[in-house]
Structure 1
Amino acid sequence: MRVTERSGARFGVTVESFDPRTASADEFEALKKLVYTEKIVVLRGQRLSSPEFIDLGRRLGRIDVYYEPMYHHPEYPEIFVSSNVSSGDQRVGVPQTGKFWHADYQFMAEPFGLTLIYPQVLPKKNRGTYFIDMGRVYEQLPDELKAAVASTRTMHSPRRYFKIRPSDVYRPIKDLLEEIEQKTPAVAHPTVFRHPVTGERVLYLSEAFAYEIHDADGTVRTDDLLDRLLEFSGQLDATFTSEYIHLQTYEPDDLLIWDNRSLVHRALHTATPEPAVSHRVTVHDAHPFYEDAS
């Protein structure tokens, strides 16, 4: 396994000569350590079948199958498919996923620690993923904002960005909203938590899913604290020039693994309708998702 720091990147490393089909347990432990410390690991030169991609996920932890079936690979439900390509008369996966700042499963009671993305079809023009390191954001928060978020909890829900399913056509919007609230009720997570592996404090909120901050006694904050935190982190920057935003692009046969605790991300899709397909596997590792930030 050969590790190279990415020149000019805010975080992340590139790994070559790693074959998940033959890697030892020690090599997998070293890989996970890299993900936790470097936030993004780009595995170069990967030519894996779908079952081999799933096996890679299983070597890292327990795979979480996405709760909405329309995202599933038709043969392997462990794989989440983002695709604008049809297979015959049937669409496989969902197009234009992730066009908003979020952390995966942030709206669930038990988010997962690791996200794996394996692009299958890359468009000729630019496509990639924007990332923000929310550990670094918290570290650089002004003391006033650090004091304001101490001991608070943030409420998260997918209601704003829920994608309409084919079965939802002609359904009353009231019924759909009731289903969303029943299937994925709003959850509270600490606004700041301690990473269970690195000990780093992480500001845990996103433009897509966070909608309310509560004080320690459960009182809803009615000030502009959430907007100020999103603004500071760069998530409200429509120009994507914030010092905290990192654009990760892809080369053929790249496979990305990132720390879903520390990073929020947002997909960069092409403006023109070029074919694009990515597969995703998400993994609960051997650690609790977060620890108390005190």
Structure 2
Amino acid sequence: MRINELTSFIGSEMLDLTYEELATDEVFGKFTEILRQRELVVVRGIELKPRQQLELAQRLGRPVPFLMAKYRHPEIPEIMISSNEVKNEKPIGVARVGNFWHQDSSYVGAPAPYTMLHGVNVPGTSGHTLYANAADVYDRLPAEWKAKIAGRTALHTVNKRFRVRAEDVGLSIAELRAKVDLEHPKVEHPVVRVDPDNGREYLYGAPEYMDSVNGFDANENEAFFTLLDQLIQDEARVYTHRWTPNDLVVWKTATTYHAATAVEPGVSRTVHRISIASDER
């Protein structure tokens, strides 16, 4: 087993591991320690059956089935299939997921603390995943903005990313927004939080999932969101994960911003995703 830091600011990789080796108490304990301190862990090229991926996820907490049953793995409902592949004239998974900067599910009251992906069929030339450390983003925030957001909360919402469905056709914009707010009520989270794993302050919230910072006027919200986008997307502080077959990637959802990039036309890509809803053992 070899362990390397991916960057100075986020992530480590573990190499030369089999499932049986990773599943031992000693190695999985090291995996968990790295995850909690480095936000992101990549286990390179580890062959996993879907059941084995689930068993690893269960070591971190409680995996939950994906909401849309048609995109669940046929044998393991806790696995969501993220794929652009089509079989028997039907898509086998969700083709476009998370192609914008975000922290997973911040629009709910208690987001899952971990996300786990396994690269089943991944191109090396596109379909990368980008990662940024939310504590690093906070550290780079100008002092005047740190003072402005201290002690504040923000409203989070999914309505900026809501996709119109067949049953929504004919609704006015106002009616559609009201429907989304009813189905997915806005939730409130502190803008600055402390990571219990390492004591670092970090920013919680990305503009695509944030409605507004409480106490800010429209101009202040716009200025803050613009600055936040710039800090998150600073190429010098972003880790680009270029997938190789059987990569296992796990991250802490609260402290990790991430975004998917496009898959080039004509290229297939399938990833198995598990959302781990609680880290209580």
TM-score, length of structure 1 as denominator length:
0.84
- Residue in 1 that maps onto 2:96: 96
2:112, 2:241 → 1: CA distance?
Answer: 21
Would you say the 8 A contact 1:100–1:207 is kept in 2? no
What residue number does 1:77 align with? 77
Q: Distance in 1 between matches of 2:225 and 2:70?
A: 30
Partner of 2:271: 278
Whether the 8 Å CA contact 2:156–2:211 is kept in 1: the answer is yes
Shift of 1:10: 4.2
Hey, which of these two has a bigger chunk of helix by percent? 2
Map 1:201-240 onto structure 2 (within 5 A): 201-214=201-214, 220-235=215-230
User: Which residue of the partner structure matches residue 37 of structure 1?
Assistant: 37
Amino acid at match of 2:242: T
Unaligned runs of 5+ in 1: 215-219, 288-294
Q: CA deviation at 1:70?
A: 4.5
Contact 2:137–2:231 (CA<8 Å) still a contact in 1?
no
The corresponding residue for 2:240 is 247
CA–CA separation in structure 1 for the residues paired with 2:208 and 2:230: 10
Amino acid across the alignment from 2:61: G
CA shift, 1:171, in A, is 4.3
Gap change, CA 1:224 and 1:67, over 3 Å in 2:
farther
1:92-241 aligned at under 5 Å gives the runs: 92-123=92-123, 125-164=125-164, 168=166, 171-173=169-171, 177-214=177-214, 220-235=215-230, 241=234
- Following superposition, the deviation at residue 53 of structure 1 comes to 1.0
1:150-191, Cα deviation, whole Å (9 max, x unpaired):
1111111111112455xx356444676555323321111100
| 1:15 alignment counterpart | 14
Equivalent pair of 1:234/1:242 in contact (CA under 8 Å): no
Name the SS for the 2:111 alignment partner.
Answer: coil
Which residue identity lines up with residue 184 of structure 2 in the other structure?
T
Shift of 1:268: 0.7
Query: Quick one: which amino acid aligns to residue 196 of structure 2?
Result: P
Q: Where does structure 2 lack aligned partners over 5 or more consecutive residues?
A: none
Task: Give the counterpart letter for 2:273 in structure 1.
Answer: R
Seen in structure 2, the aligned counterparts of structure 1 residues 229 and 177 have a Cα distance that, compared at 3 Å, is closer
TM-score (norm 2): 0.88
Q: CA RMSD in A?
A: 2.4
Question: Which amino acid counterpart does residue 157 of structure 1 have in structure 2?
Answer: T
Change (3 A) 1:205 1:105: same
Give me the whole-angstrom Cα distance separating, in 1, the residues matched to 2:235 and 2:226. Answer: 10
Residues 158 and 70 of structure 1: is their aligned pair in 2 closer, same or farther, counting only changes over 3 Å?
Answer: farther
1:55 partner amino acid: E
1:265 paired to 2:262:
no
Task: For residue 84 of structure 1, report the CA deviation from its aligned partner.
Answer: 1.0
The reply on whether 1:63 has 2:63 as its aligned counterpart is yes
CA contact (8 A) 1:206 1:235 kept: no
Shift of 1:26: 3.8
Partner Cα separation in structure 1 for residue 39 and residue 206 of structure 2: 17
Question: Helix, strand or coil for the counterpart of 1:154?
Answer: strand
Separation in 2, partners of 1:26, 1:228: 47
2:73 & 2:184 partners in 1: Cα distance? 22
1:205 Cα deviation from its structure 2 partner? 1.0
What fraction of aligned residue pairs are identical, expressed as a percent? 25
Q: Does the aligned pair in 2 maintain the 1:105–1:112 contact within 8 Å?
A: yes
How big is the shift at 1:75?
3.2
Query: 3-state DSSP class of the match of 1:253?
Result: coil
Q: Which runs of 4+ in 1 moved over 6 A?
A: none
Could you tell me which of 216, 227, 249 is aligned with 1:256?
249
Q: Is residue 21–residue 52 contact of structure 1 (8 Å, CA) maintained in 2?
A: no
Provide the C-alpha distance between the structure 2 equivalents of 1:285 and 1:33, rounded to a whole number of angstroms.
Answer: 17
Q: Deviations over 1:4-60 (max 9, x none)?
A: 223x66421110244444523343232111012112111012111111111111111
